[in-house]
Structure 1
Amino acid sequence: MASIAVFSILFPSIFFLLFSFSVQSLINHMADHVSLAEPSYQNLLKYLAILFIVQIAFILAFVTLSHFSGVATILVSATSYTGDILSLQDLFSSIKRKWKSPLTTTFNGSRQNMRYSLVIGVLVALAVLYPNFITISIAILFGIAAIVFSLYLAVVTILAIVVSVVEECSSGKEAQEKAAEIVEGQRSLGFLLNLFINLLFSIILLGYWMILGDRGILNVTIYGLFVVNMASLVKMFVLMAYTVLYFQCKKHHGEETAILGKVQYTKLITDIPV
């Protein structure tokens, strides 16, 4: 697990530093060679297009690394919980075989979460356009309610990602339905976990901002690097915790799940009268 943590921090950090210095170099070069005159206006559009491509490339690279490290985290956590041994070869083989399922499940869950993000965005826009006590109060109350409800729904979304990795032939809507079924009666634990992690992450970011303050471009790079690393660690911790929650939910419903090599199976625990 330590190697996965190093991988989750090291590679995103390298990509972010390359991205940060590339963007800054591009902006400096653009400021030196571009003006609003007609001949330079075309060059400005060219630089903006390059800047956009660099940003998209970084986002895709970060999301790809985050996805594969997430799958690895779930696999290692599951085998550690069950006491099995997962070799490096088996790990890479399992990642190669399973990476599509959690990706489909993530997209399926993201579509549901976008609705609540849209609600929060509309409320913020109303508060900005019509700043008075009533609109601000309504925006705050409904915003908090939307955030709490989204954290509650995220329990199934995150658990479905674990299901799509641990169990065979489970992805997308099927994984969502299976996660909702096994988390029945234990959903409050997942909600409290989400609430705790989000509060802790917010407090850390706020404390970092208050201590470091505004120190120009260097601060932007350090702040971005800090956020990238924190996001990677938080995601790893969340997936580890939800993998444990998955097995706890299985036991709660009278099922014992084991992972032997590349095969996952479930044993029903029943009382056999003598």
Structure 2
Amino acid sequence: MGRFSFLNLLKEVVGMLNESRKLFLKNKKLMFSVLVFSLLLNGLVYLFNILTITLEITNLTQHLKLLPTMDPSSAEYIALLMEVFADFGLFGVSSDIFGVVYFIINLLSVLVIVHASALTYNDENVNCKDFVVLSLKSWKGPLVTYFYICLFSLGYWLFFVTILFPLLLLSTASLISFAVVTCVLLVLFALFASYLAIVWYLSLVVSVLEETYGIQALGEAVKIAKGMKPKLLLLNLFFGLLIFGLAQIETLVSLVMSTFVVMFVLLTYTVAFFQCKGHHGQDVESLRDAEYTTLPTTSLIGALP
């Protein structure tokens, strides 16, 4: 019986992926435009990382390698040590800037992808100008929700470190045993993080499509996800493994593929949002205020460049 239940669950997951694929192809012009927009944003992050952070790490590493070979009492050693401190300062500033830019770009990507997915799902037609206005108009809610998600995610992985660090200090076993324990803990934490991500992803969609954000959006996501968590957990595991595999390839191809996967994740969760609302007996067409329906019905294909 359990085997058949799992097979049925797999069928539901495949069905949701197929529905998401059809949704992407339903309005190719809009979806392709959103994909290109996300690629441009992520390309800027990639270039910033290569031209600043990677270069600074390289310089810092080279200077640290030279320090042990020099006389600590020499003036050259003091000068190089000052350069090391300067490198650390530049790296800290660049990392902070990178974090802010990455946060903003992720937020913009969420806004345009979820709005495009919802418009396509509801067969709404909107021209390019109104789509941009509609997307940017609702930035405050997702910003607050995304900030809470980042805090919860940071706290979750700090908790992982607080568990791992005492094990490192108190460990009397071999390095291999400690590595095994670390891998097991990492897998368990990653699995539970995939479970938590169900609420995180849904809350982002909720904060974009409804006038709910922050803790309220997270609570709404918990409520509407009931009954769909096994399916969404399998989806998260699938997407997580896919993104992890692509992250091992440091090329522009991996950047393009990862951007497409992230877009597909948000598209799938937009589909899941409407399905969850439908399962709870709520009219999905009434979820939006007049923002969609009052927009011009100009054909998107003719309006977008």
Superposition TM-score tier, normalisation by shorter sequence: 0.7 to 0.9
Whole-Å separation in 2 of the counterparts to 1:124 and 1:183: 31
Equivalent of residue 262 in structure 1, options 273, 280, 291: 291
Question: What SS does structure 2 have at the residue aligned with 1:262?
Answer: helix
The CA RMSD measured in Å over matched residues stands at: 3.2
Correspondence list, 1:18-33, <5 A: 18-23=48-53
Decide whether the 8 Å contact of 1:105 with 1:161 is kept in 2. yes
Decide whether the 8 Å contact of 1:183 with 1:249 is kept in 2. yes
Deviation for aligned residue 1:141: 4.1
- 1:183 corresponds in structure 2 to 225
Deviation for aligned residue 1:72: 0.6
Decide whether the 8 Å contact of 1:119 with 1:146 is kept in 2. no
Decide whether the 8 Å contact of 2:107 with 2:146 is kept in 1. no
- 1:272 corresponds in structure 2 to none
- 2:261 corresponds in structure 1 to 234
Task: Summarize the Cα distance change of 1:23–1:162 in structure 2 as closer, same or farther, 3 Å threshold.
Answer: closer
Deviation for aligned residue 1:160: 0.6
Stretches of structure 2 lacking an aligned partner (at least 5 in a row): 1-30, 68-75, 294-305
Equivalent of residue 13 in structure 1, options 37, 43, 46: 43
Equivalent of residue 104 in structure 2, options 61, 64, 79: 64
Question: What SS does structure 1 have at the residue aligned with 2:125?
Answer: coil
- 2:95 corresponds in structure 1 to 55
- 1:164 corresponds in structure 2 to 207
Number of equivalenced pairs: 247
Equivalent of residue 90 in structure 1, options 130, 152, 169: 130
The question of 1:79 aligning with 2:119 is answered: yes
Whole-Å separation in 2 of the counterparts to 1:55 and 1:141: 30
- Which string of whole-angstrom CA distances, capped at 9 and with x for unpartnered residues, describes residues 160-214 of structure 1? 110000012x0001111111111111111211110111122233445x4xxxxxx
- Which string of whole-angstrom CA distances, capped at 9 and with x for unpartnered residues, describes residues 247-269 of structure 1? 011111122212475158xxxxx
Identical counterparts, % of pairs: 26
- 2:34 corresponds in structure 1 to 4
Decide whether the 8 Å contact of 1:76 with 1:86 is kept in 2. no
Decide whether the 8 Å contact of 2:111 with 2:136 is kept in 1. no
Decide whether the 8 Å contact of 1:79 with 1:85 is kept in 2. yes
Decide whether the 8 Å contact of 1:108 with 1:172 is kept in 2. yes
Q: Compute the TM-score of the two structures, normalised by the length of structure 2.
A: 0.69
Task: Summarize the Cα distance change of 1:66–1:109 in structure 2 as closer, same or farther, 3 Å threshold.
Answer: closer
Correspondence list, 1:61-140, <5 A: 61-125=101-165, 128-129=168-169, 130=171, 131-132=173-174, 138-140=181-183
Deviation for aligned residue 1:86: 2.7
Deviation for aligned residue 1:82: 0.7
Stretches of structure 1 lacking an aligned partner (at least 5 in a row): 209-222, 265-274
Deviation for aligned residue 1:15: 3.9
- 2:270 corresponds in structure 1 to 243
